[in-house]
Chain A
């Protein structure tokens, strides 16, 4: 039975939902579950039913005082333009800046290590392009993930010598949960205009697919790649995966 059908089964949904809501899934399985929730309505219904059953435990808890700055920070994060946000005063200026620096350094090094690992793993044997390596990488994370350690798969780009010869490969991380069986669609977001360009259906892990010139151009001009379940349109709030675009080499003129 396909994975997609398996998650339509009431017994499977019921068991997973109860374990998820009661908090008995490992962090990795929980992440996987959250990805499935976005694309599997029966599973979502089962979780809703379980959470409604157990949530009265929390209905009458005495409310704690929430610091005023939590709401202020939330507003800054969600509703202020980036430039205003960056100049907004932080209560613990230097400490906060230092903390952020270390946090980003940590995230950056983790991402770099992972990219290097994936780069080595993703080189298929007996190909001409193996020797030269990828020109482009996009480590893709579940859209609800918070850390750089949660890369689910990597898209690598190889520029061809002539238009239409450029192609992408997709490699699923061995540390990630199995790839969803639903049809997923890949989009590129332009780094300047933020317009979305549809690149096509995501292929099976391990396979390669060529990109027409126009789509390749959209790819190399993009700041991030996005994956959703709708080929017709992209709603940025309904993403399944997303990841930054990393150019590894100079683009050849073609």
Chain B
């Protein structure tokens, strides 16, 4: 079913979208650093280069394009005000996705909605990682490491990371005790880290 999700995202992609390329992390990092210095042109360029993909990240959690656009605006307000705190530590894209996901989770909470039960097929999600790779080394390494995890841990980590499921919601969805689920996730994240660091 994740295939349906991904297909729906493809269909909503704009023909005349200004953001089409996946820019290199280097150029995004440079833009992020300039935004930290209150450079408005860099801010606009960062928006043009990332807003479409961040909208998808947000919409995967909210499943509502109007809410997603509103949350996207909040994210970029934070980017403008807080870039100075985060620029220079890690990659710009990493921070942008963290900020976007958290803003989407906050909105989900305020709307008192739960993630839609899409019965996502995490295998398809895994395949999407290896398709159309713009940064092959990172994605392949991540894909390989994810594939080494137990199926349950991988599914739990991907569903929470991509679609915003909480521990409790995952416990309901996967019909496993909360403690078991937390243990899977904790162990899975530790294994993932170990693998990625190897």
Binding site for B on A (CB under 8 A): 14, 18-24, 26-27, 30, 34, 37-38, 41, 44-45, 47-67, 70-71, 73-74, 77-79, 144, 146-147, 235, 237-238
Contacts and interface: CB of A to CB of B under 8 A. Distances in A.
Interface in B19-48: 19-20, 22, 40, 44, 47
Chain B interface size range? 35 or more
Given A52-B91, A53-B193, A237-B82, A60 B13 contact: no
A52 to B, nearest CB: 4
B127 to A, nearest CB: 11
| B interface, over-half SS | helix
Nearest to B36: A237
A38 B12 CA distance: 36
A77 B81 CA distance: 12
A48 B91 contact: yes
Interface of B: 6, 9-10, 12-14, 17, 19-20, 22, 40, 44, 47, 51-53, 55-57, 59-60, 65, 68-69, 72-74, 76-78, 80-82, 84-86, 89-91, 93-95, 97-98, 101-102, 105-106, 109-110, 128-129, 131-135, 138-139, 142, 157-158, 160-162, 164-167, 185, 189-190, 192-193, 196
| A interface, over-half SS | helix
Contact of B69 (A48, A52, A70): A70
Given A52-B90, A77-B73, A63 B129 contact: no
Contact of B86 (A24, A44, A65): A44
A64 B55 CA distance: 6
A66 B22 CA distance: 16
A21 B98 contact: yes
A30 B95 CA distance: 15
A48 B10 CA distance: 29
Contact of B133 (A22, A53, A60, A237): A60
Top 10 closest pairs, chain A to chain B, by CB: A48-B90, A63-B52, A65-B14, A51-B94, A56-B138, A64-B55, A52-B94, A61-B56, A56-B139, A18-B189
B193 A18 contact: yes
A62 B160 contact: no
Contact of B73 (A24, A34, A70): A70
Given A24-B185, A59-B93, A64-B52, 5 more contacts: A14-B193, A53-B192, A60-B129, A63-B56, A70-B69
Contacts of B10: 62
Given A48-B90, A147-B110, A53 B73 contact: no
Contacts of B129: 56-57, 60
Contact of A63 (B17, B81, B84): B17
B89 A61 contact: no
23 contacts: A22-B189, A27-B109, A44-B89, A47-B98, A52-B90, A54-B161, A55-B93, A55-B94, A56-B135, A57-B162, A59-B135, A59-B138, A61-B53, A62-B10, A62-B56, A63-B51, A63-B53, A64-B55, A66-B19, A66-B55, A70-B73, A78-B80, A79-B40
B102 A51 contact: no
Contacts of A22: 157, 160-161, 185, 189
Contacts of A34: 102
A159 B90 CA distance: 47
Contacts of A51: 90-91, 94-95, 97-98
Nearest to A21: B98
Contacts of B68: 64
